[in-house]
Chains A and B, each alone.
Chain A
């Protein structure tokens, strides 16, 4: 039997991950976008490290403690599950990186998901003892990781503005997103002098009643100024990134997940299922989605961020659905799908193992744009005053700025939104280019 001439091919067969990596390497705009998004993610995760009114390290009566670490999972302090979840990542990320680098290189069969779970479990075990070890002896028990899921209500801790220690190491910005100070509407200053012409930072002087008024501190401690309640804008911007990421990812996940499921079903099965789902899509598309979202939010008395995420997800699934339906219809004709059916695979196996991986390109692009869309919609809803009042999202900051006529309060979150959405859109376009030529492979010159 004659053998084919062994192909002197590349060392490793190029997969589409490598195609993607090549595209990213070639386009500077895409590299910049990825860098911005990575910076945003790190900013969101490490926001408490940057801006907190609890000292990172404190010494009292010759006892070292870390009030910051002790209160990472304090539900009272953070008011809601969003921040403690992100705080989990503060420690989990470096631990995961370390574990991957050390362990998985030596144990190649350990799948990376097992590694991640291991790291999360390790950080859970590590944090609790660490938190308790670093407790000063005479203070009440602070909150640990397992209290996050339990009913324990830790007391509201006192921060750098409410008590003093023998020695303490504050965070770079000694304010949290809720700490109010004596400087409402303060402009950015450097060494005591205002940075820009004060005309830009003129605001209304009648501020509403203050809460938790902190003692007076020099103005320069607020690098970007404060809002009407004297809350530091830098801190709020950093914590706002958390809300943006949460809304973006979660709402996009719901929308794309639901849309993909329905779209694939419609395209693959066809017949009356397709008819039904397509008509459903058309009915949903007829409603202007923003109005629909506002109407649904108005039905709820106090819409929380998670209500908003659910609403956005449930109204924005039509675009991915149509896209995946088109992909399913197109790919259904491919010969390898028929070949897979001829092999005797079940239809659902063919759908998920053959059809879906080949539609990943369109899916990835749709997801990216869905994320950007979700962030924008949430900001719009918050700007109109109908968002979650307790979470410091960028849209809420925009709204506050609008209400109190403070330009800095509008400019800064606006800029943050602009940069984020630009980066996501650039990423989406880059992904689209990376996946498109893959599907229309370059044909070799005719023989």
Chain B
């Protein structure tokens, strides 16, 4: 009996199949996961090459690319140039999105509630504890806010979404910057931890009087109530592709080493204040140049043909000149044996 099992298993195991042309693995941020998986499906259809993208969180993407267990890492929390150099990584953005606060308040519809960064910070610090707090009612004159206690929901896993969100809070609230700070995983003063954007959305949906933060597409798909946030010029824009694009428009692309760009509180009438780009990390001197070339070839293809898909999922593609800039960076930075790993084909 044992013999039969072994033979059977051996046969199954040798079914490795013909070697696919260029299969590669990436891991990291959940923020862009919907668009990366959509691109991967289309890319397989177009070229037969498979991208295996696993959304384990930005921290996971950084960790696994440093350990070289994946071919690229994806992160919403950009690494600073010092860290990039320390680990021999090159960083480039792919799309821009936004983070939207979601609430569960009886009688309040999506897009009705107005909030500011300061108020949100105070909620997450536990200082604003009721929804009919004067700070909130003052900027929502037309809205009847119930006296429910405020329950905040944050991420339980390390996340670039958290990084962008806490950077915004630290920017708007000195108290937040002093006590909690900004990172992909912080020491939250209060609140529940949900796993992934979905965990947060699920908790908010179930808990009256709660507030959470999610990547934009999760606020659309789950039909939760999203709130508006005041931007740098005092407006309350609706969160959508146009608002994120407005935030990206005035960013200093190409001027910051390592592409460390934060789109927090950007000027612009329609700019959404909690926007962010999402980034890819690849090794500068890859041990496997063919794999590295496969990664870059994929993103080049995505830059050329993936805009429509991204827009359909409510991400904002990068402007054309920025994409060319990044291609030049690939040629300059990502080399094997002195020659660029990828130069257009």
A binds B: no
User: Residues of B at under 8 Å CB distance from A?
Assistant: none
